[in-house]
Amino acid sequence: MSGSTPAFAAARFWTGAGPNNLWSTPQNWQGNVAPVSGDGVTFPDGALQNNNVNDLPSGTLLNTIAFHATYVVSGNRVLIDNNIRVAGANGTTVAFQCDITNGGNGSTVLFIDVLAGNLLVTTGVISGATPISKIDGGTWNISGAAANTYTGQTRAHAGTIVLSKPVGVAAVPAGLNIGDNSGGAAADVVRLASDKQIEGPVIIRSSGLLEL
């Protein structure tokens, strides 16, 4: 469950070698130990069952979630302390369908770290109180039918953010800052796939571009 990070939080690596595709199944993890609150989880290249289900208790705190190959993840809400990272080879696509709460364990920002040439698609509701910062050169597609509700600013500091929720549904609920004044013109891009998805003020810096 959500809460303080345990003193001995561990790194857990998915193998997918268990009898089902559930996160709670110990045999699906290296060492036959399923994640607990505060652990970081990694989904490597070469593992089995790349379409899997987070059946840990809703709101379980995870320090990081990292993907090194294409995966589809559904299931319960996760509380994330540090980052979601897509670091596989060029063309890696991750569909993360769980609801997300940011700001776990007192963190001050949630990083969405997608390497160049890769894609992260989030379709669940994102809630919480901290800012979200998109870093690295890949693409984060914010999708799904329901509005996001987090109260921190969204920061586009590298690569591309695509806003793909329905018209009038907030993908960015509390202001948008595009660019960090490095990387040159249009280094940091936000693209609207449908209208009226941004609530709050929009700041565009010298490296930023908003595509309407």
pLDDT at 103: 83
Q: Distance between CA atoms of 9 and 209, rounded to whole angstroms?
A: 39
Residues 98-103, mean pLDDT to the nearest whole number = 94
The mean-pLDDT minimum among 4-18, 41-55, 82-96, 163-177 falls in 4-18
* The pLDDT value given to residue 82: 92
For range 114-126, the mean pLDDT: 98
In angstroms, the Cα distances linking 94 to 3, 98, 204 are 27, 12, 28
Average pLDDT of the segment spanning 94-114 = 91
Residue with tokens 């036959």: 32
State the Cα–Cα distance between residues 162 and 185, nearest whole angstrom. 18
User: Is pLDDT above 70 for 4?
Assistant: no
Q: Are 110 and 82 in contact (CB under 8 A)?
A: yes
Encoded tokens for 23: 């996160």
Flag whether pLDDT at 6 surpasses 70: no
Radius of gyration of the chain (CA): 17
Neighbours of 112 (CB within 10 A): 28
Residue range 92-107: mean pLDDT, rounded = 90
Assign 9 a pLDDT band (cuts: 50, 70, 90).
confident
Q: What pLDDT does 2 receive?
A: 37
Q: Mean pLDDT over residues 72-86, rounded?
A: 97
Sign of CA dihedral 107, 108, 110, 111: negative
Predicted confidence (pLDDT) at residue 206 exceeds the cutoff of 70:
yes
CB atoms within 10 A of CB 209: 16
- Nearest one of 129, 163, 164, 134 to 149, comparing CA atoms: 129
Residue 3, pLDDT > 80, answer: no
Please give the average per-residue pLDDT across 81-107, as a whole number.
92
Which pLDDT score is estimated for 198?
98
Q: Which of 92, 102, 97 is nearest to 53 (CA)?
A: 97
pLDDT of residue 107: 76
pLDDT by residue (tens digit) across 127-160?
999 999 999 999 999 999 999 999 999 999 999 9
Predicted confidence (pLDDT) at residue 105 exceeds the cutoff of 80: no
Tokens matching residue 89? 């080879």
Distance of CA 162 to the CA centre of its chain: 13
- For residue 94, what pLDDT band results from cuts at 50, 70 and 90? very high
Spatial separation of the C-alpha atoms in residues 158 and 49, rounded to whole Å:
31
